[in-house]
Amino acid sequence: MMNKVKVMTEESVQPLRVPPQMSIYADQHNIIHLVQSMVSSLAVDQPQDPISYLLLLLQDSSVHVPRVVLMGPPAVGKTTLAGRLCAELGAVHVTMETLLDEQSALGEQARRLAREQQEVPDHLLVDFIQGRLKRSDCFNTGWVLDGLPQTRLQARSLQQGGVIPKHVVLLDAGEDVLLERHRGRLLDPLTGDVYHETFARPCEEAVAARCADKRPSASTAAGDAALRADLQRYRCKVTGMTSAYRHILKTVDADQPPSDVYQQAVAFLRTCRCSRTPRVLLLGPPGSGKRLQAKMLADKYKMVDVCCSDLLCWAEADPSSVGEEVRTYLQHNRTVPESVTLKVFEERLDRADCSQRGWILHHLPCDLQHAKHLANSLNAPNRVFFLELTDDVCLQRSAMKHSLADPSVQAAVPGDLRECDDNMRAVAHALGVYRTHTAGLQCVFPDGVHVDADQDSQCVFEALDKQLTIQTHAHEH
C-alpha cells in the first residue's frame, strides 16, 4: 500500500507533458490564439454565465474587425493615413475632435474643458473612448483611434476596460521633416481633410480656396516654436505608450511618399499575431551561416539550438536506450545507420525542453528522405527558412573560415595546404549534394521563406527575426 501511495505521489509532482501531436493540431487551427482571446475576454467582462458568454463569443462575427491605434508626433500625417485606412477597412475614424462633437454629458463636459483650454482628465477621456467604441458602428465594423490614447496611463486604463487593439502603428519622422510639413499644412474646413501646399495640394480649385482661407496667420517662427514644444511633450510620453503596446506595434518611417506609408500600414493591419511554440528549420548551403544565425535566434527567443551534426555526440553521452545503441556503433568504429540517426533526432526533439521552449534545427535534413520524414512527423517545423548564397561565395567563405581557424595555413606549410585542399573538396562535395536536393527541399517545404545570406550577419539575423516576430496570415476585413 505504501509503495502504491509513493508511486502516486511521484506521478502527481511530475511536470505535465503535452503530447507533440497537440502542438501540431494547435498550430493548424490557431488554438492558442483562440484560447488567449477567450480568457482575455472573460477576465475583462466577467460574465455571470461564462459558458453562454463563450458560446456567443465564438459565434461573434466581430472577431476579425479592425481595432487599430495610430500614434505619432504632431504633423507626421496620422489623420491623413487614418482616413485612408478607414476607407479601406470600412472602420470608424475616432479622434479627439470627433469625440468632442459627441452629443452626450461626457461630450459637454469635455467641450467645456476644451473651451477653458484645460486638458481632459485621464479618467474622463478613458470613459469617453470606451463609450464611443462600444457603440454599434465601432463594434460591428471596427475602429481606428487616431492620436489616442495620449499617455501610458490612458493606454493601460483602456486595456483594463477591454479596449484592446489588434494593431498599433507608430509613424515616425525627424524634427526637420515635421517642421516642413507643419509650415505647409492645409486644412479643408468643410471635410476636415488635410493637404499640403507642396506635397499634396488639393486637386479642386474650390477645395484649394477653402484651405487658403483657413491658413494660420501666426508667423513661421511662432508656429515652429509651438510645434517644438508639442514635440517635446510627445517625446516625454511616447516611450511609455509604445511599451504598453510593444507586442503589437510596428514603426513606419513617415519620411517617404504617402503611398508607401499607406502600403506598409495596410500590410501590417492584414496580419494577425499567433502565439505558437517555434519549431524553426534553417536550410542553406555550406557557408551560409546557419550555425551562427541559429545561435543568435536561440539566444533571443530561448529556443533549443539543435545542430544535427552534433546529435550523435549528444546521443553518445545520453543514458537513454537510443544513446546506448549509438555508443555500441561508435565503440566498434562502425557507421551509425540512418534509421538510428533518425531515432536520435526524434528523441532529441521529443525532450521536454524542445516541446516547451521550441527549437531551431540546422544541418538537417541531409536529403529528401530526411526532409519528408521531418515534414510528416509530429515534430514538423512551423517556420522554414532558406538561406540563399551563390556557390562562389560559399566556397570563399569556407576557405576564409578554414584559414582563420588554422593560422598555420597562412604559413604555407605543404602538409597543412593539403589538409586545406581536402577540406575545400569536402565543402565542394557538400555544396554539390545540397544543390542536388534544393529543388526537392523547396517542394517539401513550399512555404519556406527565402533570405539573402550574402550580406552582413546582423542584417540576415534581422530579416529572420522580423519573420519570427509576427506570424502573418492574410485575411479579409
Q: What is the mean pLDDT for each group of 10 consecutive residues in the chain (477 residues)?
A: 53 58 67 73 77 75 78 91 91 90 79 79 88 86 92 90 88 90 74 67 71 57 83 91 88 91 89 72 91 92 85 79 82 81 82 85 80 84 92 86 53 50 79 88 91 92 81 39
Q: Compute the distance between CA of residue 358 and CA of residue 32 in angstroms, rounded to an integer.
A: 15
Which residues, in sequence order, are CB contacts of 314 under 8 Å at separation 6+? 344, 348
Q: Are 356 and 338 in contact (CB under 8 A)?
A: no
The pLDDT assigned to 213 comes to: 55
Q: Are 454 and 395 in contact (CB under 8 A)?
A: no
The pLDDT assigned to 477 comes to: 35
**CA-closest candidate to residue 378, choices 277, 251, 258, 230:** 277
Q: Compute the distance between CA of residue 347 and CA of residue 340 in angstroms, rounded to an integer.
A: 10
The pLDDT assigned to 332 comes to: 81
The string over 126-158, giving b where at least 16 C-beta atoms fall within 10 Å of a residue's C-beta and e elsewhere, is: bebbeebbeeeebeebbbbbbbbbbbbbbbbbb
HSE-up of residue 372 (Cα within 13 Å, Cβ side): 6
**CA-closest candidate to residue 199, choices 70, 77, 74:** 77
Output the CA–CA distances (angstroms, integers) from residue 131 to 137, 161, 165, in the order listed. 12, 10, 15
Q: Are 173 and 179 in contact (CB under 8 A)?
A: no
HSE-up of residue 465 (Cα within 13 Å, Cβ side): 14
State the residue for C-alpha cell 573538396: 425
Which cell goes with 130?
A: 470606451
The pLDDT assigned to 280 comes to: 92
What is the separation of C-alpha 19 from the centre of its chain, rounded to a whole number of angstroms? 27
Q: Are 196 and 211 in contact (CB under 8 A)?
A: no
Q: How many residues does the chain have?
A: 477
Which cell goes with 56?
A: 456567443
Eight-state DSSP code of residue 74 = T
Q: Compute the distance between CA of residue 266 and CA of residue 178 in angstroms, rounded to an integer.
A: 23
The pLDDT assigned to 474 comes to: 36
pTM of structure: 0.54
